[in-house]
């Protein structure tokens, strides 16, 4: 409407040039007017002759900016810090978006071994959205990273996001005997006391936490965002030549409860696991593996004993190929070496594929380019989460 008013003002100036004798009749008519991007024309009739004024210019800058803003939301600029273990993943995340800028930290130590840390150009992140990509792969590295995590929100930043792809104490959530210590609860309490930034509580991004009830371990001063690596698996399965013959197997009821809704368009097989001492006895509870490429899905793997037992049972039940997926490949003491590659036709002896994400950097270094392992990177998922 502002554009129309401006144009009518120019019409008024034009009409003043015409005297009453020459202008026996004056009429303003909008011939056409579409959306804000369309051209429009106005016709003046003076006497017997028509004078046409046609506007073909671009929409005003304010209108164009408004239209562009409604179509594309501007990307949120994020300063991403990282520890030494997550440097490779951090670079992949930054490559996903021009809005993510990598920032480094000086990870030094004093002579006694305690951290001597420094955040370069600390004043330069004032008013910025800041994130930290952590890896709590061992108790030895947790303290120094927590020191940085607690310091960053105090630097007058606009918001703070902690990205912890793997919540390492997730399997230690049970208190079955008097004296058991639930270290998952302990770590959640520590993270819940991260100082607030100018924008409010810290956001925590983590993937496929082991026990869903652990979300309630966090206090009100932190906002957990629980993501999943399953979409990466689904995209990979769609690219397989035998994607129409895929069945999903869950090693136990817990895995089924966690993941079956995300994989419900695949035929499913549910296994049952019974532990007798150090022994794991696995059987098929429901589903049929005959003639199928079966993919075993779980949130994490440590020694790999359960997966191997599932593999044997599925092969004996007629599966032509067996693969596995876990979001977190922990593999303490290089237990990944237990998994052989099936070149075809012997699913009881090896896996066609073993997919893991890069949530555990040490494991990625060990299994890279070693069959049957294939890495599905969380970089795109993390970059998207940082835009929330």
What the block records as the tokens of 272 is 């049952």
Examine the domain organization and report whether 210 and 276 are in the same domain: no
Measured in whole angstroms, how far is the alpha carbon of residue 326 from the centre of its chain? 16
Which among 316, 235, 255 is positioned nearest to 283, based on CA atoms? 316
Instruction: Write the DSSP assignment of 187-227 as a string of letters.
Output: HHHHHHTPPPBTTBSEEEEEES-S-GGGGGGS-TTEEEEEE
Examine the domain organization and report whether 189 and 251 are in the same domain: no
The reported pLDDT for the residue numbered 292 is 97
Contact in structure between 372 and 353 (CB atoms under 8 Å): yes
Report the phi/psi class of residue 76: left, alpha or beta, with left for phi > 0 and alpha for psi in -120 to 50.
beta
52: how many CB neighbours lie within 10 A of its CB? 10
Examine the domain organization and report whether 113 and 250 are in the same domain: no
The reported pLDDT for the residue numbered 260 is 95
Q: How far apart are CA 354 and CA 326, in angstroms?
A: 8
Examine the domain organization and report whether 284 and 350 are in the same domain: yes
Tens digits of residue pLDDT in 268-305: 999 997 777 777 688 999 999 999 999 999 999 999 99
Buried b (16+ CB within 10 A) or exposed e, 309-326: bbbebbbebebbbbbbbb
For the chain, residues with pLDDT lower than 70 are 1-72, 170-176, 211-214, 280
Examine the domain organization and report whether 91 and 206 are in the same domain: yes
Examine the domain organization and report whether 223 and 243 are in the same domain: no
CATH number at residue 259: 3.40.50.2020
Examine the domain organization and report whether 86 and 223 are in the same domain: yes
Q: How far apart are CA 184 and CA 172, in angstroms?
A: 6
Domain contains 364: no
Domain contains 365: no
Domain contains 88: yes
Q: How far apart are CA 100 and CA 78, in angstroms?
A: 5
Examine the domain organization and report whether 195 and 328 are in the same domain: no
The reported pLDDT for the residue numbered 375 is 98
Distances (CA, A) of 365 to 330, 335, 357, 370: 12, 14, 12, 10
Q: Which 3 state secondary structure label does DSSP give 347?
A: coil
Examine the domain organization and report whether 246 and 313 are in the same domain: yes
Examine the domain organization and report whether 124 and 101 are in the same domain: yes
The reported pLDDT for the residue numbered 211 is 67
Examine the domain organization and report whether 122 and 193 are in the same domain: yes
Question: What are φ and ψ of residue 95, in 5° steps?
Answer: -70, -20
Tens digits of residue pLDDT in 24-55: 444 555 444 444 444 444 444 444 444 444 44
Residue numbers of the domain that contains 301: 230-357
How many residues make up the chain in this entry?
A: 388
The reported pLDDT for the residue numbered 208 is 93
Distances (CA, A) of 244 to 48, 250, 267, 292, 293: 75, 19, 10, 9, 9
Examine the domain organization and report whether 213 and 87 are in the same domain: yes
């Amino acid at each position: 409407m502002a554009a129309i008013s401006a144009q009518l003002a120019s019409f008024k100036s034009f009409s003043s040039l015409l005297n009453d004798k020459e202008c026996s009749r004056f009429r303003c008519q909008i011939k056409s007017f579409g959306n804000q991007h369309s051209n429009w024309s106005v016709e003046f009739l003076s006497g017997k002759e028509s004078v046409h004024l046609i506007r073909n210019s671009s929409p005003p800058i304010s209108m164009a900016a408004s239209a562009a803003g409604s179509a594309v939301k501007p990307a949120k600029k994020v300063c991403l810090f990282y520890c030494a273990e997550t440097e490779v993943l951090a670079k992949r995340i930054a490559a996903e978006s021009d809005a993510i800028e990598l920032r480094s930290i000086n990870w030094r130590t004093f002579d006694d071994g305690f951290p001597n840390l420094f955040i370069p150009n600390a004043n330069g992140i004032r008013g910025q959205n800041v994130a930290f990509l952590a890896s709590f792969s061992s108790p030895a590295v947790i303290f120094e990273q927590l020191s940085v995590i607690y310091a960053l929100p105090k630097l007058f930043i606009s918001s703070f996001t902690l990205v912890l792809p793997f919540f390492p104490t997730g399997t230690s959530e049970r208190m079955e005997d008097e004296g058991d210590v639930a270290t998952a609860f302990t770590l959640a309490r520590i993270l819940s006391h991260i100082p607030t930034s100018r924008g409010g509580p810290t956001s925590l991004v983590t993937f496929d936490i082991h026990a869903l009830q652990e979300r309630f371990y966090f206090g009100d001063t932190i906002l957990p965002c629980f993501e999943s690596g399953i979409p990466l698996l689904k995209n990979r399965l769609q690219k397989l030549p035998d994607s129409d013959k895929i069945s999903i197997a869950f090693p136990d009821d817990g895995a089924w409860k966690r993941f079956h809704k995300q994989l419900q368009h695949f035929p499913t097989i549910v296994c049952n696991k019974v532990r007798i001492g150090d022994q794991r006895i696995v059987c098929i509870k429901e589903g049929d593996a005959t003639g199928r490429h079966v993919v075993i899905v779980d949130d994490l793997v440590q020694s790999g004993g359960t997966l191997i037992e599932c593999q044997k049972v599925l092969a004996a039940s007629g599966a032509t190929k067996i693969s596995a997926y876990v979001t977190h490949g922990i593999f303490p003491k290089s237990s990944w070496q237990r998994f052989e590659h099936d070149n075809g036709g012997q699913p009881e002896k090896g896996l066609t594929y073993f997919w893991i994400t890069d949530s555990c950097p040490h494991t990625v270094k060990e299994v890279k380019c070693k069959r049957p392992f294939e890495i599905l990177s969380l970089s795109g998922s993390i970059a998207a989460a940082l835009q929330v």
